[in-house]
Structure 1
Amino acid sequence: MSKTDPISLSFHDSCLRMSDVQLLHGPRWLNDQILSFYYEYLSHVKYKDNNDLYFIAPEVTQCMKYMDDSELEMLLDKNNAAYKLFIFFALNDNGATEEGGSHWSLLVMSQPEKTFFHFDSFGNSNTATSVKLMNRVKDFLGMRLAKFCPMRCLQQANGYDCGIHVICMTDHIADYVSRFEMINGLPGLHIETVKAKRAELLKLILSLGGSC
């Protein structure tokens, strides 16, 4: 594997191989590794000094669906999750414990608003999965009475850009809540932002010492 698919970039807890990076070059569905890398970047670079935000990588979100209560509590306690104002879950519709699935959406916990906001770029196709995850974690986060709020958001124009939409919405929301400490009132995401994001991600990988 290492010879035929060399590592492009190792960054904190993420590892991108060339096959992962190639997904950014064309009209391709993004895998766990790309989203995990970007969430590591947000955690360790862009918002490293903002303790109110917690970005949970997709593979961890996936495991949360199936952990027993003691494991889930230990994970959230380790990261002081109950003290975070906003938690971002990159959510896949995969119904198994391993990698897979066909659609990404974004679930964001807002402690100030006592609400889990769900952003889905393909209608409400991932609603059931997001509600299930919310019900799984809310007690451990001190959010037992939290509401679930599906949000209107920019819709994808094809069958493969859901991961890019999650990355762009995560950026968009993180910037907004850092300034206003709430999600209500969030302006819409511009389509041009989505169109430009793949090229921006490739530049970011190069700037961090990766190869594209």
Structure 2
Amino acid sequence: MNSNSKADPISLSFHDSCLRMSDVQLLHGPHWLNDQILSFYYEYLSHVKYKTNNDLHFIAPEVTQCMKYMDDQELELLLGQSQATNKPFIFFALNDNESTEAGGTHWSLLVFSRPEKTFYHFDSYGNNNTSNSVELMNKIKELLGQRQAKFRPMRCLQQANGYDCGIHVICMTDHIADYLNRYEMIDGLPPLHIDAVKAKRTELLKLILSLGGKG
């Protein structure tokens, strides 16, 4: 990406996220979604859609990425600052990236349910990200007071191409958050419908424009 801000102006600044025009362009075509788009959406869920539901906690992908490489003290501080240690439900947008830099090739979703003492993993491309998600769970479960928590890989809608994993993570986040909002548990979650995935890029573009962003 061009770091020259004149060549790539800001489309939208929203809470802790910043979308440049090149980020928004990813929604126009069959492109892999980057950290910025997922971060923006998690900010929107936190500050707008689920602002009044304190049970749901959305951790931005760049924070999740850093968590993989933090020591216990740093992690404890981070989780404490974000008040995640007591949250009933925590969403992690997870990347297969092996470094602290932005990047990677695949997104999946890890959701911690405190009432069910379980980390649920949703992967739209087989079980590609399982080792990454188990690693993150093992790193944080004690800090969340859940040493005995189980890991449960979930069957979920599979992507039909090589670039829609980020869209699937966003749609699954919506789908699960809506279900939790009503039932306060993940067990029994119905499958995600393909129509939600097909419509999501257009919905995200409309959302960005409605918040004052430029498309």
- So what's the TM-score if we normalise by structure 2? 0.98
Partner in structure 2 of residue 140 of structure 1: 143
1:198 pairs, out of 185, 196, 201, with: 201
What secondary structure, in the 3-state scheme, does the structure 1 residue paired with 2:28 have? coil
Deviations 1:46-78 (A, max 9, x none): 001111010000000000000111111001011
1:67 pairs, out of 57, 67, 70, with: 70
Provide structure 1 residue ranges, at least 5 long, that are not aligned to the other structure.
none
Partner in structure 1 of residue 130 of structure 2: 127
Give runs of ≥4 in structure 1 deviating > 2 Å. none
Partner in structure 1 of residue 49 of structure 2: 46
Task: In structure 2, give the amino acid aligned to 1:47.
Answer: Y
Partner in structure 1 of residue 103 of structure 2: 100
CA distance in 2, matches of 1:3, 1:97: 27
What secondary structure, in the 3-state scheme, does the structure 2 residue paired with 1:136 have? helix
Partner in structure 1 of residue 15 of structure 2: 12
What secondary structure, in the 3-state scheme, does the structure 2 residue paired with 1:140 have? coil
Provide structure 2 residue ranges, at least 5 long, that are not aligned to the other structure.
none
Q: How does 1:77-96 map to 2 (within 5 A)?
A: 77-96=80-99
Report how many aligned residue pairs link the two structures.
212
RMSD (CA atoms): 0.4
Deviations 1:93-139 (A, max 9, x none): 00101011000000000000000000000000000000000001101
Identical residues among aligned pairs (%): 80
CA distance in 2, matches of 1:79, 1:40: 13
Q: How does 1:172-211 map to 2 (within 5 A)?
A: 172-211=175-214
CA distance in 1, matches of 2:54, 2:74: 23
Partner in structure 1 of residue 154 of structure 2: 151
What secondary structure, in the 3-state scheme, does the structure 2 residue paired with 1:24 have? helix
